[in-house]
Chain A
Amino acid sequence: MRKYFGRKIFVYALTFFAAVTINWMIPRLMPGDPIKSRLARASLNDAGAAEALYGYFNKMFGLDLPLWQQYLNFWVSLFQGDLGISIWNFPTPVIDLILGAVPYSLGLLLPSIILSWLVGNWFGAYAARSKWLDNTILPIGYILTATPYMWLALLLAWSLGIVAGLFPAAGSYGLSLQPAFTWTFISSLLEHWFLPFLSLFLVALGGWAIGMRNMIIYELESEYSNYLQALGAPRRLIRKYAFRNAMLPQLTGLAVQLGTVVAGALLTEIVFSYQGLGYLILQAIQNQDFFLLQGTFLFIVIGVLIANFIIDIVYALVDPRVRVQMQGGAK
């Protein structure tokens, strides 16, 4: 058991190191100079002033140092919890920007992933046992998963948001409001939350339902099901076993999905101008904001790793095959 987790933790540490290094490298490999483009927007007429400002900013962000020095500095400040200062939203610290965006992303993605997983598995399990449900749910599921996401999102924003006017089609909350713990603010938050949530929920739903249906059918035709049927076991028992075993791959799927939670849903947040992490990533890329990009990526990496680690533990609890492997048993 300890050996198993020891090995896992070592692998996770290695992954973390590699991923963080790559995160640091990628923005620096992008063509262009973030400071120059920032100064260009300030449209300074005086060439001398521009030169001075350029030098100042370059020094401030530490971009004048050799690359290896920048890399070392990055690790040092990382362990001090300092992710740097945003170039795009100067001079807000990156960590503040991220912490401001994370609740929106989590609030959007956690409910949509978990609810679609629960409802999808439930539908799928039922579809596997009823011809009628199978013939209705399956095509709908296929249509939903095959729909290009942004198209569905735009369709929802257009139909429910603009034509029917039931929900606001853009923003995280009303433009005239300031975040506060008041009823007006919360209800506006919920209204704005609903459409992006619905779009994510619908798209994921079909996939889960189809996956579950196929897994259950596979399990029902497996040899242990056959054996139980030959021994006259009631359908109830066989279904119970099939359902339990079919849940295992679905659980892995959920874990992978949950890992991406922190990444935000880039497309959703762009379509609905929802100010979560995905929106931040877009801004960071468009403005060549090294520090913001690094920071958000770091968050994603940590999120994926933690989610995977949790699932490793959960899997060991629910699947005896993994547990046996862990204890160094047979095979």
Chain B
Amino acid sequence: MTLEVSDLRVYYRTLRGDVRALDGPTFTVADGEIMGLAGESGSGKSTLSKSLIRLDGRMRYIGGSVTLDGDEMPIWDDRAMDEFRYKRVSIIPQYAMSAMNPTRKIGKMIAELLESRGVRFRDVRDELHRRLELVELERDVLDRYPLELSGGMKQRTVMVISTLLNPSLLIADEVTSALDVSTQRAVAETLVEFRDREFVKSMIVVTHDISLVYQIADTIMVMYGGRLAEKASAKTIIEMPKHPYTKMLLDSLPEVGVKYEDKRLSGIPGSPPGLLNPPQGCRFRDRCPLADKQCLEQPPFVEVESDHHVACWKAE
């Protein structure tokens, strides 16, 4: 197992109390696995992905553990985490378009970054050139400033930078959300290629676009209200979901070949729970058509079939 996360709790500190954005998920990501992480805004997917590499100033580590290739990552200790960052766990940020210092030539910035991490730029330069070629970028982007590149070029450059040191785990945070549809597809395919060429061992692809993640992910994990709802292979999640939330989420996607003239595309009624004082029991209870008294107790995240985990009392 590349990544093992166990009962991880990360809260946001606010004046009115703790917001339980990430409330104890336990899961694993296998070697070579591309896991899609889906959920709506406020489901905790961004908090989870950030927690694995760098907590921002408002996030507070409460408990739980994260193990990468058998070593526990000190995610509560910003300084100690530096050792893991980039070399063993890396990120392609959501804001790839503005992730590079606008006043430095890209090549110079990469060199400075690598040297600061104790890696000789000379030793990786050839590999860098090869990988730029792989994503169809000219070598001379290294002599340019970020604003001389188009959005898609910046995105690909950042993908190459982030994976240059062959990390075990790569977090791709909403990488496609700022791109047009045709570029989205290319970016998604590049991610798969990076895994196939073993630039990265495993990957977590955070997205709210289930249809896109279905094309590239081996497994999909669905989060709701700071907890895990369901995790299974991508095919199983799409074709035979068990959690009512997953079902409703999939039902709200448009289907090819169906005209929505007569039938309105339905969303999920209601809104996600506030996580400042989350409701007791299952957090989907208020919006769930199947909810009953049993749901006042929190359902455990259990394996109901081989490699199919669900947190729901009603899942058969």
Interface residues of chain A, those whose CB is within 8 Å of chain B, are 222-224, 226-234, 236-237, 241, 244-245, 248, 319-321, 324, 329-331
A223: B residues at CB distance < 8 A? 93, 95, 98-99
B87: A residues at CB distance < 8 A? 232
Bound form: Cα–Cα A120–B170 in Å: 42
B112: A residues at CB distance < 8 A? 237
B82 to A230, Cβ gap below 8 A? no
Tell me how far the C-beta of B165 lies from the nearest C-beta in chain A, rounded to whole angstroms: 9
Tell me how far the C-beta of B84 lies from the nearest C-beta in chain A, rounded to whole angstroms: 8
Contact flag A321-B86 (CB < 8 Å), given A230-B53, A230-B93, A234-B116: no
Interface residues on B, range: 20 to 34
- CB of B295 closer than 8 Å to a CB of A: no
Tell me how far the C-beta of B110 lies from the nearest C-beta in chain A, rounded to whole angstroms: 10
B102: A residues at CB distance < 8 A? 224, 245, 320-321
- The residue that A232 contacts in the complex, of B86, B100, B145, with Cβ under 8 A, is B86
The winner among B93, B95, B116, B149 for most chain A CB atoms within 10 A is B116
Interface residues of chain B, those whose CB is within 8 Å of chain A, are 53-54, 81-87, 90-91, 93, 95, 98-105, 112-113, 116-117, 145, 147-150, 158, 161-162
- The residue that A224 contacts in the complex, of B86, B101, B105, with Cβ under 8 A, is B101
The closest CB in chain A to the CB of B105 belongs to: A320
The closest CB in chain B to the CB of A318 belongs to: B103
Tell me how far the C-beta of A222 lies from the nearest C-beta in chain B, rounded to whole angstroms: 8
The winner among B53, B145, B149, B150 for most chain A CB atoms within 10 A is B145
Tell me how far the C-beta of A36 lies from the nearest C-beta in chain B, rounded to whole angstroms: 60
Q: 27 A-B Cβ contacts within 8 A? A: A223-B99, A224-B98, A224-B99, A224-B101, A224-B102, A226-B95, A227-B91, A228-B101, A230-B54, A230-B85, A230-B90, A231-B85, A231-B86, A232-B81, A232-B87, A233-B113, A233-B117, A234-B116, A236-B116, A237-B112, A245-B101, A245-B103, A319-B103, A320-B105, A320-B145, A321-B102, A324-B145
A230 to B91, Cβ gap below 8 A? yes
Tell me how far the C-beta of A116 lies from the nearest C-beta in chain B, rounded to whole angstroms: 25
A232: B residues at CB distance < 8 A? 81-87, 117
Tell me how far the C-beta of B313 lies from the nearest C-beta in chain A, rounded to whole angstroms: 38
Contact flag A228-B95 (CB < 8 Å), given A241-B104, A321-B145: no
Bound form: Cα–Cα A324–B84 in Å: 37
B100: A residues at CB distance < 8 A? 224, 227
- The residue that B162 contacts in the complex, of A231, A324, A331, with Cβ under 8 A, is A231
B83: A residues at CB distance < 8 A? 232
Bound form: Cα–Cα A321–B145 in Å: 8
Tell me how far the C-beta of B224 lies from the nearest C-beta in chain A, rounded to whole angstroms: 26
Tell me how far the C-beta of A242 lies from the nearest C-beta in chain B, rounded to whole angstroms: 9
A324 to B147, Cβ gap below 8 A? yes
Tell me how far the C-beta of B36 lies from the nearest C-beta in chain A, rounded to whole angstroms: 21
Tell me how far the C-beta of B131 lies from the nearest C-beta in chain A, rounded to whole angstroms: 16
Bound form: Cα–Cα A237–B108 in Å: 12
The winner among A229, A232, A241, A248 for most chain B CB atoms within 10 A is A232
